[in-house]
Amino acid sequence: MTILTGKAEARRRLQPDRLGVLRKIWEHRADYAYVLPAIAVMLIVIAYPIYYTIELSFFNTPPGLQLRDKIFVGIDNYTAILTSPVFWKVTSNTLIWTLGSTLISFVLGFACALALHRDFVGRGILRAILIIPWVISAVAASYIWKWIYHSDFGIIGAVLVGLGLTDRPPNFIDSVSTVLPSLIVVNIWREFPFAMIMMMAGLQTVPDQLLRAAKVDGANAWQRFWHVTFPHLRNVSTVTILLLAVANFNSFIIPWIMTGGGPSNASHIWITHIYELAFGRQRWGVASAYSVLLFLILMSLGYFYVRALSGNEQRGGGE
């Protein structure tokens, strides 16, 4: 018995490792046929652009994107970014935008999921209505809210004046101090339904027996939520928050259409700033350097995302 396994062990060790991998790949060649089209598409439109962005970030390119005339400038684009005061303004905007939108969307979505978890008349309809903002286009949402915030004919301003709270309608998105919070309100309007859907699905997996047992033991509603429901939802919450954070960090349409980053950069976030640098001011090299920095930030976020996902998978498999 022991001799046999010893022989097999020896035979396996004799085989060169690299050849083993190649043979394995060859043995599975039919499997790759299934994923090949997907991988090919991803290579052309993802791997190549990433490589090209990195290359371009070390060059200066004249306006009009005349690539033959590009000049190697080393890390000048990077130092230009880090020493520019706009960079810090835009970075702090991005942090406020991402954290504010993500946390409030998550809390509102989670609260809706909890409130909708119990069955009552009209629950299905209510859920459907609450999801709609997430489905309609961000462009439509931007125009709707631009109209609501309108400084002369906007409905919120009219209500505030009607209630006697102000003399004239406030400039929600035309004033440096209110523009970012006003845009965050629009963004949350579009995003909380996503958190709601995810958390509703998560709530369905919380075992009823645990909740009933906690009730028998005398736990009140808050204690049941805090000690039973919430710990059970830790994985879904992590994945939801990460997805929201990435989506918000990457959002473009709402700030771009509603304000274009203004007034005086007060609502510029990284993405809109990069777009303006590239396609507005034709500073392709600086825009590419920004993209590379963004890429590095997102890669580190991605690391946590993958970890959260694989943790989820393991737990799911164990159950």
Partner 1 sequence: MSAIAETVHRSQARSRARIDGWRWGGRVFLVFMLLYTALPMIWMLITSIKSGFAAMQFPPQWWPDQPTLASYQKLLDPQNSVGQDFLRFFWNSLFVSSATTILSVIVAVPAAYAFSRFTFPGRNFLFFAVLLRNMFPAVIFLVPLFILMRAIGLVNTHGSLVLTYLTFGLPLAIWLLKGFYDNIPVQLEQAARIDGATRFQAFFLIVMPLSAPGIIATAIYSFIGAWNEYIYAYTFLSKNEQLTLPVGIQRFFSENTTDFPGLMAASFMMSVPVVVLFLVLQRYFVRALTEGAVKH
Helix (H) or strand (E) holding 59: strand 59-60
Question: According to the binding rule CB under 8 A, does residue 289 interact with partner 1?
Answer: no
Please tell me the count of residues contacting partner 1 according to CB under 8 A. 107
Quick one: DSSP state of residue 136? S
Which residues within the stretch 110-149 sit at the binding site for partner 1 (CB under 8 A)? 111-112, 114-116, 118, 126, 128-133, 135-141, 143-145, 147-148
Interface region with partner 1, contact rule CB under 8 A, candidates 71-79, 98-106, 153-161, 172-180: 153-161
Question: According to the binding rule CB under 8 A, does residue 207 interact with partner 1?
Answer: no
Question: According to the binding rule CB under 8 A, does residue 71 interact with partner 1?
Answer: no
Residue type (1 letter), 42: M
Cα(173)–Cα(178) distance, integer angstroms: 6
**Please, what is the minimum distance in Å from the beta carbon of residue 2 to partner 1?**
30
Q: How many Cα atoms sit within 13 Å of 44 on the Cβ side?
A: 5
> Treating both helix axes as pointing N-terminal to C-terminal, what angle do 17-27 and 29-42 enclose, rounded to 10 degrees?
90
Q: Contact with partner 1 (CB under 8 A): which of 87, 234, 298, 311?
A: 298
**Please, what is the minimum distance in Å from the beta carbon of residue 231 to partner 1?**
15
Question: According to the binding rule CB under 8 A, does residue 213 interact with partner 1?
Answer: no
Q: Which is nearer to partner 1, 73 or 111 (CB)?
A: 111
For residue 216, what are the contacts with CB-CB under 8 A and spacing of at least 6? none
Interface region with partner 1, contact rule CB under 8 A, candidates 6-14, 80-88, 97-105, 243-251: 243-251
Q: Contact with partner 1 (CB under 8 A): which of 239, 262, 263, 265?
A: 239
Q: Which is nearer to partner 1, 170 or 193 (CB)?
A: 193
Question: According to the binding rule CB under 8 A, does residue 197 interact with partner 1?
Answer: yes
For residue 119, what are the contacts with CB-CB under 8 A and spacing of at least 6? none
Cα(87)–Cα(124) distance, integer angstroms: 46
DSSP line for 267-300: T--HHHHHHIIIIIT--HHHHHHHHHHHHHHHHH
**Please, what is the minimum distance in Å from the beta carbon of residue 53 to partner 1?**
6
Question: According to the binding rule CB under 8 A, does residue 309 interact with partner 1?
Answer: yes
**Please, what is the minimum distance in Å from the beta carbon of residue 287 to partner 1?**
6
For residue 253, what are the contacts with CB-CB under 8 A and spacing of at least 6? 138, 139, 142
